[in-house]
Amino acid sequence: MNAAIEAERFVATAGQRIRVSIRPGSAGTRRVPLVLCNGIGASYEVLDPLVAQLDPEITVVRFDVPGTGGSPASVAPYGFPYLAWALGRVLTNLDLGVVDVLGLSWGGALAQQFAVQNPRRCRRLILAATGTGAVMVPGNPRVLAKMLTPRRFRDPAYAASIAGDLYGGTARRQGDDVAGLFLQQLHAGSKIGYFHQLLAGAVWTSLPLLPAIRQQTLLVAGTDDPIVPVVNARIMNQLLPHSTIHLHSGGHIDLVTNATELAPVITTFLHDPGVSP
């Protein structure tokens, strides 16, 4: 699908103004739309390489959470239950019913919460490089400390210098490419917005919720992920009733930096007729 026809708009809902992008699926197809929930601090442009590799038949919906990218910051902090509810309102405003949801890293927490709160609206769930929130096996503290500020989204030289240590996988060889990817963001977001995202993740866990997630779920995890060790995916795979796991040799953001390899895995999962639980 040619990215030139991708439509950007702002959706006002729940006191927020949410920046949304929709890539329409191929004419004549009836695929379930795919909603992408991004990592912390990043605007939806960072997901461009992934969207470019996804099946053009699939309608792809991306958005900036409050305080990130082009969405103004929320006046007050928010939690994932509120954000999942607001996302549902956005989808309703866009006249979208049943959807598939993919969450990357921090966005994986939002995806899990959305699936719990919308069991009939969320058909399938893809969780990439993510864990169970505050109660999980943590990454290296030295690495996690680099995520306490959004500096990497504003300083290309700094982003390139830390990309390998922070993200692992293909980022170890593509530090400059990662920095360039961050530069594609039209809006770097706000410091208060980044703080709100950090706070939301610090007070949330999905550990007791996982058995209630009935959707067919694909876990995508890299064995060289310094932020979310692969053991978290193995734990989630044991607790989710209808999950499969796909391990790859990459790191935290290989879903983007190595989309040519991982996007087909996602497409295959979404198109598999399977059996609805």
Cβ pair 201, 109 in contact under 8 A: yes
Instruction: Give 165-219 pLDDT, tens digit per residue.
Output: 999 999 998 888 888 887 777 566 788 999 999 999 999 999 999 999 999 999 9
CA distances from residue 240 to 116, 136, 173 in whole angstroms, order as listed: 12, 15, 34
Per-residue pLDDT at 3 exceeds 70? no
Residue in 105, 190, 206, 243 annotated catalytic = 105
Per-residue pLDDT at 35 exceeds 50? yes
Instruction: Give 60-116 pLDDT, tens digit per residue.
Output: 999 999 999 999 999 999 999 999 999 999 999 999 999 999 999 999 999 999 999
Burial of 209 (0-12, 13-18, 19+ CB in 10 A): middle
Which DSSP symbol is given to 98? S
Active site annotation includes 276:
no
Q: What is the pLDDT of residue 187?
A: 63
